[in-house]
């Protein structure tokens, strides 16, 4: 099972558009998958699911249960202020340690409005995941100028971006 993690809690995000496209790819490739969307995080998790309270928040525990069914992750992280969103970092910090995502394989995707496509966010996220014992696919995908590559209907319209994501999905399935 592959979990697609939408790495922002911003409603109606461009990261979710990319996640939906990725899910379409996985369906075409015959790979079972599920979503974990940070817009659905328990509202109080930041105050009661971290540090000494780890593992004691029933709603957060239910929220992360899909991770236990997955051996692979796709993490879609928009770049916020030259790094990953705070919600994604807090989510990762609230996961059981050690454990959580240790030993899983991860495909990383970043997106940004700027020309670098979230390169710094990818670098930061890769460092965090390595520390946690998560294997990161070398095919990390950056999607620069993301707004220019969405159709009027809000779909990923760039053939190049679509191809990069397809190649990454195929590599993830082969890993």
Q: For residue 111, name the pLDDT band (cuts at 50, 70, 90).
A: very high
Domain of 121, CATH number, reads 3.40.50.360
Where do we find the tokens 């692979």? 72
pLDDT value, residue 35: 97
Other CB atoms within a 10 A radius of the CB of residue 115 amount to 9
Angle at the Cα of 57 from the Cα atoms of 51 and 61, rounded to 5 degrees: 105
Q: Which residues contact 145 (CB under 8 A, 6 or more apart)?
A: 112, 113, 114, 115, 117
pLDDT value, residue 30: 98
Q: Which domain holds residue 67?
A: 2-174
Please count the structural domains in the chain. 1
d(CA 151, CA 138): 29
Q: What is the pLDDT of residues 122-167, one digit of tens each?
A: 999 999 999 999 999 999 999 999 999 998 888 999 999 999 999 9
DSSP run (H or E) holding 107: strand 105-111
Q: For residue 98, name the pLDDT band (cuts at 50, 70, 90).
A: confident
Q: For residue 48, name the pLDDT band (cuts at 50, 70, 90).
A: confident
């Amino acid at each position: 099972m592959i979990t697609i993690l939408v790495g922002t809690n911003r409603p109606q995000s461009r990261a979710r558009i990319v996640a939906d496209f990725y899910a379409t790819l996985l369906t075409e490739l015959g790979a079972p998958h599920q979503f974990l969307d940070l817009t659905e995080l328990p509202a109080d998790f930041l105050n009661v699911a971290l540090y000494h309270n780890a593992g004691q928040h029933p709603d957060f525990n239910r929220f992360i249960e899909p991770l236990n069914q997955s051996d692979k992750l796709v993490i879609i992280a928009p770049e916020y202020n030259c790094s990953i969103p705070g919600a994604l970092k807090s989510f990762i910090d609230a996961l059981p340690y050690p454990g959580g995502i240790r030993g899983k394989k991860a495909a990383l995707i970043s997106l940004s409005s700027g020309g670098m496509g979230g390169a710094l966010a990818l670098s930061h996220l890769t460092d965090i995941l390595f520390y946690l014992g998560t294997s990161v696919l070398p095919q990390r995908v950056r999607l620069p100028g993301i707004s220019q590559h969405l159709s009027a209907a809000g779909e990923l319209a760039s053939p190049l971006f679509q191809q990069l994501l397809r190649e990454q999905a195929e590599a993830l399935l082969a890993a």
